Amino acid sequence: MKTSKLIILAIVIISFASCKKKIETLQYTGTITGYVYVYDKSDWYVTTNADGINVTIGDTISAVTDNAGKFVLENVPFGTYDIRYEKRGITSFTKYGYQFVGGNETPAYLGTIYMMEMPTHYVTNFAIDEMSLNLQWYAFTTISGNIVNNVEGSKIRVYYHDTDEVSQTKYTGYFELYGEDDAFSLTENIGIADLDNSNIYMVAYGYYSGGYTWQYDPETGKNKNPTYTQVSNIASFTIPTE
């Protein structure tokens, strides 16, 4: 009799543990949904290009947007995630540090992510042609190049730095190119006080008028715009000493 009671007790404990595990699993997984809007290169109008965007959370869970730009991520365990949005020809986007509790009967709503078509304009023969000191901490700097596919709405931002790793998240300063012809040569008065090298490096990034989506990049500690794309070679020049 004592043995039978022990067996029954063991079965009850095992069954309880199994049920508890199932309950915990149900409580800590859930569904996440949201939308993606894609803007074209010339205006703010939403294009029909919002379908087929791959949305990935963690390493193994992903979904694809439908014609309306909607996605549904299912069976997502609780945790903190980086959520990546990607499609060829569309600027990528990452939502960092999203905290998901799970256990939700109603899908958690991520809201709407705004993405843009990739810039098709770019700069060839980008060069720093001349630098001359202006007072102690500034220099008149002449750059030149050729803009290809220079359509309405095309914008270019030039970043400069004291290493060849210059980019939109690693720079000392920047300036914009506005209304330039396809072949351009212009002079900018730039600050050089914070440059720690005898050389200066520049690179051009292309974007469109609607490229307003800024996000914090935890890897560099700076804000970046995923709609900005490098569109030139890196140019360099030796900073004059007098």
Domain contains 86: yes
Domain contains 8: no
Q: Which of 92, 116, 140 is the last residue of a domain?
A: 116
The number of folded domains in the chain is 2
What is the mean pLDDT of the segment spanning 37-43? 74
In this prediction, residue 83 carries a pLDDT of 95
Domain that holds residue 164: 122-238
The model's pTM is 0.72
Domain contains 12: no
Judge if 102 and 131 occupy the same domain: no
Domain contains 19: no
Residue 242: alpha-carbon gap to chain centroid: 40
In this prediction, residue 6 carries a pLDDT of 46
CATH code at position 142: 2.60.40.2060
Judge if 108 and 184 occupy the same domain: no
Judge if 47 and 152 occupy the same domain: no
What is the mean pLDDT of the segment spanning 199-221? 80
Judge if 227 and 139 occupy the same domain: yes
Using one digit for the tens of pLDDT, what is the confidence trace for 93-107?
888 899 998 887 889
- Kindly report the three-state secondary structure assignment for every residue of 128-195: EEEEEEECCCEEEEEEEEEEECCCCCEEEEEEEECCCCCECCECCEEEEECCCCCEEEEEEEEECCCC
Judge if 230 and 130 occupy the same domain: yes
Using one digit for the tens of pLDDT, what is the confidence trace for 120-176?
889 999 999 999 988 778 999 999 999 998 877 788 999 999 999 999 989 999 999
Domain contains 109: yes
CATH code at position 43: 2.60.40.1120
